[in-house]
Amino acid sequence: MRIVLMGMPGVGKGTQAERLRVEFGVPHISTGDILRDAVREGSALGRRVKATLDAGELVSDELMQALIRERLGRPDARGGFLLDGYPRTAEQLAALDAILGALSLRLDAVLLLTASEAEILRRLGGRRICSGCAAVYHVDDHPPAAPGVCDRCGAALVQREDDTERVIRARLQLYRSRTQPVADAYRQRGALHEIDAAGDPAGVFARLRRALGRT
């Protein structure tokens, strides 16, 4: 399976990608996770992109293209992949088409998760991530057993730098202006499956499975 997973910031792409990864046995390639890992490690890439991530702006198309070409060229992506967070601009869409064309690969599905803006603000406002292992929680919907402490590794839970209300609104605006046209282009190609992401994660996953032809 070669899948692109799209949707507004905080709609639940990472949450569903983890379930899809297990179901289909393909690597979950999240550009946001790759960039945040680089920041956490303090690598040259991380130092270059930290301010952009914190402001909720987009990293340059050139840098993202190089990153994705390298990642899709790795052996573990030969049998399929789940792309989360790429492509996000018309330029990235063209770049992905070229990368896949060069590898003689085609996408099987593009999945677009949808939810109301009020629900997006609620999900992002309540999101907490583990400062140690990056596990994702929500203060109301998916709280840890002990407040502020990761169930998995015991490290402290924190808010992402880009989850303040001001930065969330900037990210939503960028989504509408730069990423919505990418979804529209996939729709015109007849490749887009729109999935209602309201309700609990298990229900959303059931809809995703059905869209992918699993019973």
Residues of the shown chain interacting with ligand AP5 in the complex, contacts defined by CB under 6 A: 7, 9-15, 31-32, 35, 52-53, 56-59, 64, 85-86, 88, 92, 123, 126-127, 136, 138, 141-142, 162, 171, 200-201, 204
Nearer to ligand AP5, 60 or 187 (CB): 60
Q: Which two tokens stand for residue 27?
A: 């690597």
Query: Least distance in Å: CB of 79 to ligand AP5?
Result: 23
Query: Least distance in Å: CB of 6 to ligand AP5?
Result: 9
Nearer to ligand AP5, 104 or 178 (CB): 178
Nearer to ligand AP5, 27 or 201 (CB): 201
Query: Least distance in Å: CB of 81 to ligand AP5?
Result: 14
Write the burial class of residue 64 (CB in 10 Å: 0-12 exposed, 13-18 middle, 19+ buried): buried
Nearer to ligand AP5, 80 or 144 (CB): 144
Q: Which residues participate in catalysis according to the annotation?
A: 13, 88, 127, 160, 171
Strand duo 81-84 + 2-7: pairing = parallel
Q: Tell me the residue type at 66.
A: A
DSSP line for 16-32: HHHHHHHHHT--EEEHH
Q: Which two tokens stand for residue 181?
A: 């046209």
Task: Give 154's Cβ-side CA count (13 Å radius).
Answer: 0
Strand duo 109-114 + 192-196: pairing = parallel
CA–CA distance, 192 with 183 (Å, rounded to integer): 7
Query: Least distance in Å: CB of 118 to ligand AP5?
Result: 13
Which residue has the CB atom at the shortest distance from ligand AP5?
32
